[in-house]
Amino acid sequence: MSTDTPPLKHLSAQGVTELIDDAFPQIHASGRVMEIEHIGPDTARVRMRLNDRNTRHGGTISGPAMFTLADFSIYAALIGRLGAPAIPAVTSNLNITFLMRPPPRDVIAETRLVRVGRRLAYAEVALYSDGGSEMIAHATGTYALAKPAEKQ
């Protein structure tokens, strides 16, 4: 990219967390499982803390928990980029491939927004075990953004 392009403005991890907490106060009813660690111009890093509900018998992380993390991390990246107007965004497709059986540890999602259009956004997510270097799952997702007119 040209170095003359001004850097994209984006919210901080703290700013995104506050917007989501305001909009969905109930999601932390059973404790804060998802922690937004970093937001960049088109990236998000989110940690899913290990708990009784996202582990499975035998000591691994459940697939639906990894889906939930991937989905949430794309949402966080979108709010980082677009701010409050992204709050009504909804997932339109999520495709997740499980690459290896993860150990029972926190899972880290590294999300990158590939394209943010007026109506659709597309992102990819790499999931890692905390401290591990091999990807445990990979997802791509498409989100439908609300039309500007609908927000008024």
Check if the beta carbon of residue 48 is closer than 8 Å to that of residue 14: no
Residue type, 67: F
Mapped onto helix, strand or coil, the DSSP state of residue 83 is: coil
Strands 60-61 and 55-56: what pairing? antiparallel
Among 21, 100, 148, 151, binds its own copies (CB under 8 A): 100
Among 50, 67, 105, 132, binds its own copies (CB under 8 A): 67
Q: Which is nearer to its own copies, 12 or 78 (CB)?
A: 78
> What is the smallest separation between the CB atom of 98 and its own copies, expressed in angstroms?
6
Distance CA 81, CA 72 (A): 14
Residues 105-144 that bind its own copies (CB under 8 A): 114-115, 119-120, 122, 124, 133-135, 138, 140, 142
Tokens of 68: 């939930």
Q: What angle separates helix 63-82 from helix 13-23, to the nearest 10 degrees?
A: 110
Q: Which residues bind its own copies (CB under 8 A)?
A: 1, 23-24, 26, 56-57, 63-64, 67-68, 71, 90-101, 114-115, 119-120, 122, 124, 133-135, 138, 140, 142
